[in-house]
Structure 1
Amino acid sequence: MRSVTAFLIFLCCVGFIGCKPSSPCPRGQFLLKSQCVLCHPTCSECDGHELFECTTCGVDEDGQERFLHQGRCRTHCPRGLYPDRGHYACLPCIANCELCADGNICAKCREHYKLQNGVCQTASCNTGQVQDSDTGECIDCEMGCKTCSTEDPGICSSCVEGYFLFRHHCRRHCPQSTYEDWGRGVCLSCPAPCSDCRSNTRCLACQPGYFLNGGDCIKQCPSQTFSDSTGWLCQACHGSCQTCHGPRSSDCNLCLGGNPPLHGQCPLINCPLGQFYDGKRNNHNKALFQDVKK
């Protein structure tokens, strides 16, 4: 009982509820020069008729609830306080709370604090979370995000391991025309003239007008390859060709050793010096050699 009494005395001293000695005047009036004078219309009891001299509040003549704070009977309590209808006074929220409906549970914490189970704690959100600027509560970022925007948790600024940042979103795999930079966890654009790539040095497909040769995009295919325009690839010539034109790998322009092809193809036989291969007399796959006349 003593603790309750002490708490009420504390509220009186700081002005949360009204405390005044017994007065000869009726409720809503105060003594001025031996006469009872009406309080300000917003006050239930007062020390004077001014707005800031209220000592207790309640429901005014218009039916409006009013709550005591710093000598005034207010319709709304300031931030950090809540309206207590038992005493018609503005009482403090719990520690570090900015908005509350009562003295036990917070609705919004002050800056640099986060809301957890109705209590304000020092803000320290986990990886993949961001502190809500309105409530102070830690909320989850979009899937795969390591850090994200305080304005929109769906806008990522970095990704957890195994995800790659592309246009403010974290993806498992980078889209076409980009490649995965594992060191930085981002999707980077393929270098021109690649249209798709595995890295900044290895192309998988080329822009129109370029042929893919190994991991490079080139305008003209090198020796011992031919340009396959259907797939825009440099295809290797047959092993018997020095140069070829396709569409088959055995369609040679020049044979190994510098001999011209026979019917577009080169034999797999290498004749000794001073001899040539006579394909016209090659019956039953038997090679005939002719001496070159001097």
Structure 2
Amino acid sequence: MLYLIVLILFGLAFAANPVPKDCAGNGRPSCASGKNCLDVNVAGQQKEVCTKCENTHVPVDGTCETIATAGAKCTPKGSPDGTCQSCGEGHYLYRGGCYTTCPQGTPNPETNTCDGVPAPDCNIPNCKSCPDGTCTECNDGFVLGDGNKCVASSVNKSGGLSTGAIAGIAVAVVIVVGGLVGFLCWWFICRGKA
């Protein structure tokens, strides 16, 4: 029984990628027509959210707000298309909208984004564009790596140690060798006279 409960909780925590659906006629005012609605978990509640609004609105916590009302929560794209380009402090960019908690992925307070969110029709983490199941572009802060995967851009590509690690190892070696030489000098010079 415990095993079954663990499996259910594990399944809920790692739910499949939400599938976009049409928002028409479902009480989503200002949501752009087309497949711009998702069923996601927002702040612990399952709800339908709009990911793209009419050009005069932007999605904030899944609801379309006017650009003026959204204020610092959402910076709309340069040519307004009903989505956010970036989010203000306390909000995280998720599929074109700004949320106080990430419906999917991990909140990144440095970039105000939800990390690990695959493209709508893609199951490759941190992939922004995924035509035909092949990742062609990664989310901000990630680059396309080996095996069609998005890796953090801060990952050392050389596969070797960082400069700081090498310097730390060198200092440790100098201290150990210096201690050994000092001990041997004391052993043979000072102790030899006794």
TM-score under structure 2 normalisation?
A: 0.32
Please state which structure has a larger fraction of its residues in helix: 2
Structure showing greater radius of gyration is 1
Please state which structure has a larger fraction of its residues in strand: 1
TM-score under structure 1 normalisation?
A: 0.24
User: 1 or 2 for the larger relative contact order (CA 8 Å, sep ≥6)?
Assistant: 2
